[in-house]
Structure 1
């Protein structure tokens, strides 16, 4: 298997070419964290896909490229927003491949939240493929707010060759959220 060093970021493009009208805007934030703050983590750019999805031959080419990127990834960050669709997006296929074939640990990052302590309360936001894999416990998933410190901690710790997540509904402790300044004691 390929050298698994990247972090694969997945989100729902919502059928939009305009970054500001899709969940790609959150990935842009991550790119900014990396560029501005000099944070040392690698990620795989899986997001040159908005215009390629309409043509079947382009879609198959895209899926082949995504499979290569997943094979080279150590984990996957799944960005969930209030707009994330339950089905019908490439995100569902990416989650399926990441869990079922590449056995990637998932870091489920929720946009718009300051803390995540009860991920099951957010199940209405999950794409169907994620809900199924959480329900049948085939997904190893930690659920975090879409916040820099939580994301970087999860990316560093939970990898194919790193610390095991140990379940499908795992969160960081309340104390960790307090330490990051997301919650007050």
Structure 2
């Protein structure tokens, strides 16, 4: 198995790309204490690849991942082709997951959260720089203590 040191960001690329770009911008800004090794830099996807090829490459990325970030937007709960598949794979690989609410709710958003995450050990945080920086640093460390429990995760980050 590959060394897991990457952060994988899962999101609705059609609608929520600007939030992903914001994470990249924070990473590049030397005045912001925010750093992660982006799994999306492992291999490049061709725009017109087959679903099978895309999922194979995404799986390669996920095998190098230590943390999954799910950007929860307005339509995320209904995305099955890739987003749900990525979440299922992360759960199978026992990768800690941070659900980042783009509407800035500091708890699970039942209207937007994919159902697959509702009863899993996932921390739900708002899309704010301070919450994300804190969760990036703390959740991978804390996850082993909480991975068999639910309903406690947002409180850790209040």
TM-score (norm 2): 0.82
2:124 is matched with 143
2:36 is matched with 41
Mapped partners of 2:72, 2:117: distance in 1:
15
Q: Is the 8 A contact 1:7 1:155 kept in 2?
A: no
Mapped partners of 2:22, 2:117: distance in 1:
27
The yes-or-no answer on 1:108 pairing with 2:99 is yes
Q: Is the 8 A contact 2:69 2:97 kept in 1?
A: yes
Shift of 1:133: 4.3
Runs of 4+ off more than 3 Å: 46-52
1:4 is matched with 4
Mapped partners of 1:88, 1:48: distance in 2:
22
2:21 is matched with 28
Aligned CA distance change for structure 1 residues 99 and 134 (closer, same or farther; 3 Å): same
1:32-64 Cα offsets, whole Å, 9 max, x none, are 101123533222227966934xx5xx2111111
**5+ long unaligned stretches in structure 2:** none
Aligned CA distance change for structure 1 residues 112 and 91 (closer, same or farther; 3 Å): same
Instruction: Indicate which of 62, 81, 86 corresponds to 2:78.
Output: 86
RMSD across aligned positions (CA) = 2.4
Provide the secondary structure at the position in 2 that maps to 1:151: helix
Mapped partners of 1:75, 1:49: distance in 2:
21
The yes-or-no answer on 1:134 pairing with 2:115 is no
Shift of 1:85: 4.3
Structure possessing the higher radius of gyration over alpha carbons: 1
Mapped partners of 2:111, 2:46: distance in 1:
25
Q: Is the 8 A contact 2:45 2:57 kept in 1?
A: no
Aligned CA distance change for structure 1 residues 132 and 41 (closer, same or farther; 3 Å): closer
Mapped partners of 1:99, 1:68: distance in 2:
15
2:47 is matched with 51
Q: Is the 8 A contact 2:76 2:83 kept in 1?
A: no
